[in-house]
Structure 1
Amino acid sequence: MSADRSVLRRAIERGEQDGGAIEFKERLTREVHLADGRMESLAAQLRHRVLSGDGEATYVVGVTDDGGLAGISPDVFSETMDVLSLLAEEAGAHIDDVDTWSVGDVDGGVAVDRPGDTTAEQEANGDTGLVGLATIREGAMLETDDDHIVVGTAGHVDHGKSTLVGTLVTGMADDGQGGTRGFLDVQPHEVERGLSADLSYAVYGFGDDGPVRMDNPHRKQDRARVVEEADRLVSFVDTVGHEPWLRTTIRGLVGQKLDYGLLAVAADDGPTETTREHLGILLATELPTVVAITKVDAVDDERADEVVREVESMLREVGKTPLPVERHGVEAAVDEIGDSVVPVFRTSAVEKAGIDELDELFRALPKRATPDREEFRMYIDRTYDVKGVGAVASGTVNSGAVEAGDELLLGPMPDGSFRPVEARSIEMHYHRVDRATAGRIVGIALKGVDEADVKRGMVLLPREANPDPVREFEAEVVVLNHPTRIQEGYEPVVHLETASEAAEFSPAGGRLLPGDSGRTRVRFKFRPYLVEEGQRFVFREGQSKGVGTVTDVNPGGNVDVAADDD
C-alpha cells in the first residue's frame, strides 16, 4: 500500500468523533448545503473540527457516514470542493491540500490509485468515482505582497545557474556536484542527466529577521510555508542552458512577466556563444539584468579576474556598463541597475560566496512597473489535468487581478473564438490564494473546459472583454544573425508571450540583411493569437536570430481567422 493510501486508510479507521478533527462527507452541493441557513451550520461544524485539531481538520469526501467508499463523479467532486472552500472561508479557514483516489478496486478498504483514468476509463474499469481527502487549516487564504519580484535565469549548460538558485532558496551550500540544482529540476531524466530540459520554478522570501528559505523544496508544503511567512517574495523562473532547448529558454524569458534577469557565467569556462545569445535575449526584451560569475571556488583569483574582464568586455560590446559589486557595493547595484548598467557578482554555491550580497540585492530591488491596463490578462504557459479538479492553466499574471470564482474567457481557439470558463481556484507555489495580481506565477483551476483544449499561448481574460485575435501583424525587427538575407516567405519560429509558432515574414522592401532593422509583416502559419501593439518578440530559425516589436495588429485588415485555415 502506498503512503498516500495509508493516509486515507488511517483517516477512515480513526473515523468521526464528537471532539475529533475528522469529518466524513459523501458530497456537498450548492443547492442543498449553501441554502436556508445550512451554510452557517456547516461552517460552524467545520470550525469545530479545525479547533479540535489544533488548527487543522481533515475532510474525507466521497464516503458514507460510517466510512464506506461511496465514490462520486469528478464533476460532483469538483462542486464539493467549491462548496467546502466557501464553508472554510466562512469559518476563517482554507483548504490547504487535496488528495484523490479512484474507487473500484479495493485494497484493504482503501481505493487503489489509478491517477491517469478519465471518467470514461473509470466507468470501463467498474469504478464508481472518486474519494478524496481535504486538509483544512485555520486562517484565511493567503494575501500576498504587492512587490513580489520574478527573476528569470539564463546561462550556458553547466554554468551553475540552477545550482546557484537552489542555494539561494534553501541557504544550503552545494556539494560540488550540483546537488542543490536537484531542488529545481522537474523531470526524472533531468535529475539523471544533470540537465534541465524545461522551465522550473523556485521561491524564497524575506521577513523581519532576514531570508525565509525552504528546508526541502521537494515538499510543496515547504514552498507554501515560505509564501505564507515571507513579507517579500522572490520567484525564479529557471530556464534551460543546453543549446537544443534554446526554444524553451526563449519561452522562459519572453513568455513570463519577469522583473529582472540573472545571467550565470562559470569562472572555469567564461562567456560562451550561448552566454552571448542569452544575454542578447535578455537585453532584447529590455530586462534589467544581473550577471553572476559562478564557481569562483573552482579557479584561482587570477582566472576569476580574467573571466570578470571577459564579462565586462562582453557587456561593453552591447552598449552596457558593467558594475562590479565587489568594488561598488550592493547599494550602488540597486540604484544603478537598468537600461545601461549591469551589476556583476562573484559567487560560489559551494562556499556560499556572494549569497549574502545577492540576498541583499533581491530584498532591495523594486518591483518593476506593471502595464497601465487594469484588465486581467494571463498568457498560459503550462496546462495540467488534475484528478478531482480538472483543467489547470499555469502562467504569470500579465496585468490586472483575478479572484477565485471569476468568470473568464479562454482562447483564442483554432477558429479564433473564445470559450467562457470559471476560475474555480487559484494556487501560487502550492499555496491556495483567493486573489492574484500582476507578476504572480499561478495555477488556475478552470471550470467549463477540458485540459486537452487548453493550449500554451492562449490567454485568460475577463468575461466582459472583447478580444480580437489576429493571424498577422506588422513589426519593427532587428536581425541579430542570419547566414544570407531574410526575404519574402522566410519562416522562423516566433516567440511572443508564451506562444511559439511558425510564422511567415514579408519584409518591406523585399529583404533584410544581418544587422538590418526594418519593417515586416508577420503571419502565423497555423492559428490566431491575441497580439497587441508594443509587445516584444524573438524569432529564430537555425542560426538565424532576431528580435522585434509589434507595431500594428491590423495591417490592411485581418482576414476572418475562422475562414482562413491554411
Structure 2
Amino acid sequence: MDSFFSLFDPNNGNESPGSEDFDRQNALPPEPQVGNIEYKLKIVNPTKQRFDHLVTQLKWRLREGNGEAIYEIGVEDSGILTGLTANDMTASLQSLKQMALDLGATTTLLREKLLDNNRSVAEVLVRKIPDDQNNIEIRVAVLGNADAGKSTILGVLTQGIMDNGRGRARLNMFRHLHEIHSGRTSSISHEILGFNSEGQSINYNSSELITAEEICDSSTKLVTFLDLAGHKKYLRTTIQGLSGYSPHHAMLVISSAAGAVGMAHEHLAIAVALNVPFFIVITKIDLVDPANTLQNLESFIKQVGSRRVPLIIENIDDVITAGANQLTENVVPIFCVSSVSGQGLELLTRFLYVLPPGSSSKEKERLEQEPPEFYIDENFRAGHVGQILGGLLTKGVVTEGTLMRIGPMKDGSFQEVSVKSIHRNRVPCRMVRAGQSAAICLNIYIPNLRNGMVLVSREEKPSGSLFFQASISVLFHETAIYPGFQTTVHIGNIRQTVIVMAIFSSKCIHTNEQDSVMLKFKNQPEYVTVGQRILFRNGAGRGIGEITQVFPLKNVHD
C-alpha cells in the first residue's frame, strides 16, 4: 500500500518562519482585531469608566477564545515592545487580575521578559469557564507507529506514575485482553488529564482513590486524549477516530529508537488532509539520543506538504511560543521526553495547559442554536441499563428526556427514541452541547444498530441518502479514476464503500486533479450533509473532498 505522505507534493508550500515571540525580536505583529489576543501598554489606576470598558473588552476577548484570552502587557497596539517599569508592571498585572475577578475569571502569568531598556513585558493567560460548561475541554488525538510509546506516555500523563521500562504505565490504557498480550492498541480509548486554575495537573495520582468525576469537577481545563491504534492493520480504526471525533489537536508520537518510520508518515498525512493541527512528541530518549530523529524531522514534515517549520521545545518560553502558534499552522512543536526518567514531561504538560481550544465561543453558540446531530461511534448494551451510544454531538443541545430520531435504517428511515440518561467522561450529566463527546442511553433497544448512524432532532424528519455529489481532489492514483471506480470513503464516523457514478467535467480524474463527481453508497443509505469533509482510500487511490449536494430517499417517514 502506498503511504499517504507520498500523495502530497513536498514543494507545495515554502518554509514560513512562524510568528516570532518577544524573545527574538523587538516587536510583535500588530494587534489582531479579532481573536483572543489583546495588547495593553499599561493598566495603571484606571478610572471607573475606563475600568468598566476594559472589563467589557476582556469579556469579548474571552468569548473569542472560548474561555481563554492572552494579554500582552507592555506592548503597544502596533506590536512595539515598549515595556514597563517594575512598579507599572506590578500595577498593571494587579489591574488585570481585578478585571478578571469581576468576570469570575483567573489570571496566570505565563512569562515575563526584561528588555534592553530595563523595562519588562509580560504575557498573561486569562481563563473563565463558560457559564454553560463545567470546564474548558479540548480533544487531542494520539497518533504514531506501533511500539512508539503512545499508550505509555498517556499512562504516565494521566496516571501520574513513571513507567518502569517494561510497559507498566500503559496497562491501564488497554481495553481488551489481546491488547495486553500484544502491547498494541486496537481500539479507540479515552483518557483525561485535568488542570486547575493555577496550571497544576490533576490526574489519578493527585490524591488517593480519586475518580474521573472528581478530576472533572476539580479542573478548569480538561484534556481528553483519544488513544488511536498505531499498527497498519488497524488503520481504519485510526482514521475513524480522526474523522469521527473531530479532535482539536493531534499528538504524533515518534520513538527515538526507531525514528519517523512506518505508519507515522501515514498518520501525519491524514491529520494534514483533515486540517487537524498537530505537534510531535519524541519518546524513549533515555534509550537513544534523539539527535538523528530531530535532524530528519524537518524533511519528514515537508514530505506531507505541510507549510510548517519545526520548533524544538527546550524551555518554558518555547512552550508559550508554541501554544500561541499552534492554530496558525506555521510551527510544529517538538518535545523530547522519557516516560521512565520523566525528562521533558514538565514542558509537555505545560504545553497541554496552554493549548488553545479549537473554536471560538461565537461559533460554538451558533452550533448550539441548530437542531441536534449526534454521530454514533460506538454502541453496546449494558445489562439492565439498556442501549448505550457513544459519539460526538456536532450541533445543538441534548438533554435527558429529549425526543429524537435514530437512523438511517436499511430503507433510509429513522426510528423515534428518547434520551434516558447521559454520561460525559464517565460522569453522569443532564446535558451535552455541540462539540462535546458523550455516552447516551436510550429508552428502548434498537435492533441492527451500527456505528455510523446518527441521532437527530425529532422535528427534522431526516432521511438517509444513497446518492450524493462531492468535489474531490485525487491525491494519488496509479492511473486515473473513471466512472464505476469503487473505494472506501470516510465521512465523519461513516465508513462504507462508494461507487463513482459520474464525473462531471471530464472523463476521468488523474493524480493532483480535481472534479465534481456523483457517488453512491454501495451497501446502505447514510445520513450525510452538505459541507462534510470526505476522505477516501484503498490500494489504488487516495483523495479528499467535500460534499456539495445530497439526494435524500423519499417517502421513508412513518
Q: TM-score, normalised by structure 2?
A: 0.70
The answer for unaligned runs of 5 or more in structure 1 is 1-141
SS of the residue 2:314 aligns to: helix
SS of the residue 1:329 aligns to: helix
Query: C-alpha displacement at 1:483, in angstroms?
Result: 2.7
Structure 1 segment 150-549 matched on structure 2, within 5 A: 150-208=139-197, 210-215=200-205, 222-300=211-289, 304-317=290-303, 318=305, 319-326=307-314, 329-338=318-327, 339-369=329-359, 370=363, 372-373=366-367, 374=369, 375-450=371-446, 452-505=447-500, 506-508=502-504, 509-542=506-539, 544-549=541-546
Using CA pairs under 8 Å that are at least 6 residues apart, name the structure with larger relative contact order, 1 or 2: 2
Query: C-alpha displacement at 1:145, in angstroms?
Result: 2.9
SS of the residue 2:460 aligns to: coil
* Alpha-carbon separation, structure 2, partners of 1:488 and 1:392: 40
Query: C-alpha displacement at 1:144, in angstroms?
Result: 4.3
SS of the residue 1:443 aligns to: strand
Contact in 1 for aligned 2:136/2:220 (Cα 8 Å): no
Evaluate the alpha carbon distance shift between residue 467 and residue 342 of structure 1 in structure 2; reply closer, same or farther with a 3 A threshold: farther
Equivalent residue number for residue 40 of structure 1: none
* Alpha-carbon separation, structure 2, partners of 1:324 and 1:553: 45
For 1:418, the aligned partner's letter is F
* Alpha-carbon separation, structure 2, partners of 1:417 and 1:278: 35
> Sequence identity of aligned pairs in percent?
29
Query: C-alpha displacement at 1:488, in angstroms?
Result: 1.5
Contact in 2 for aligned 1:483/1:543 (Cα 8 Å): yes
For 2:292, the aligned partner's letter is E
SS of the residue 2:162 aligns to: coil
Query: C-alpha displacement at 1:260, in angstroms?
Result: 0.8
Evaluate the alpha carbon distance shift between residue 216 and residue 546 of structure 1 in structure 2; reply closer, same or farther with a 3 A threshold: farther
Query: C-alpha displacement at 1:225, in angstroms?
Result: 2.5
* Alpha-carbon separation, structure 2, partners of 1:473 and 1:384: 30
Query: C-alpha displacement at 1:152, in angstroms?
Result: 0.8
Query: C-alpha displacement at 1:290, in angstroms?
Result: 1.0
Evaluate the alpha carbon distance shift between residue 348 and residue 200 of structure 1 in structure 2; reply closer, same or farther with a 3 A threshold: same
The answer for unaligned runs of 5 or more in structure 2 is 1-130
For 1:153, the aligned partner's letter is V
Name the stretch that deviates more: 190-199 or 200-209: 200-209
For 1:305, the aligned partner's letter is A
For 2:344, the aligned partner's letter is G
* Alpha-carbon separation, structure 1, partners of 2:507 and 2:283: 45
SS of the residue 1:296 aligns to: coil
* Alpha-carbon separation, structure 2, partners of 1:349 and 1:143: 36
SS of the residue 1:224 aligns to: helix
For residues 379-421 of structure 1, the C-alpha deviation after alignment (integer angstroms, 9 at most, x for no partner) is 0000010111110100122122211111111111111111111
* Alpha-carbon separation, structure 2, partners of 1:561 and 1:503: 23
* Alpha-carbon separation, structure 2, partners of 1:156 and 1:409: 39
Q: TM-score, normalised by structure 1?
A: 0.69
Q: How many residues align?
A: 413
* Alpha-carbon separation, structure 1, partners of 2:373 and 2:556: 23
SS of the residue 2:136 aligns to: coil
Query: C-alpha displacement at 1:187, in angstroms?
Result: 0.7
SS of the residue 2:286 aligns to: helix
Contact in 1 for aligned 2:463/2:556 (Cα 8 Å): no
Name the stretch that deviates more: 364-373 or 146-155: 364-373
For 1:323, the aligned partner's letter is L
CA RMSD of superposed structures (Å): 2.3
Contact in 2 for aligned 1:383/1:394 (Cα 8 Å): yes
* Alpha-carbon separation, structure 2, partners of 1:231 and 1:523: 45
Contact in 2 for aligned 1:254/1:495 (Cα 8 Å): yes
For residues 32-54 of structure 1, the C-alpha deviation after alignment (integer angstroms, 9 at most, x for no partner) is xxxxxxxxxxxxxxxxxxxxxxx
For 1:457, the aligned partner's letter is G
For 2:255, the aligned partner's letter is A
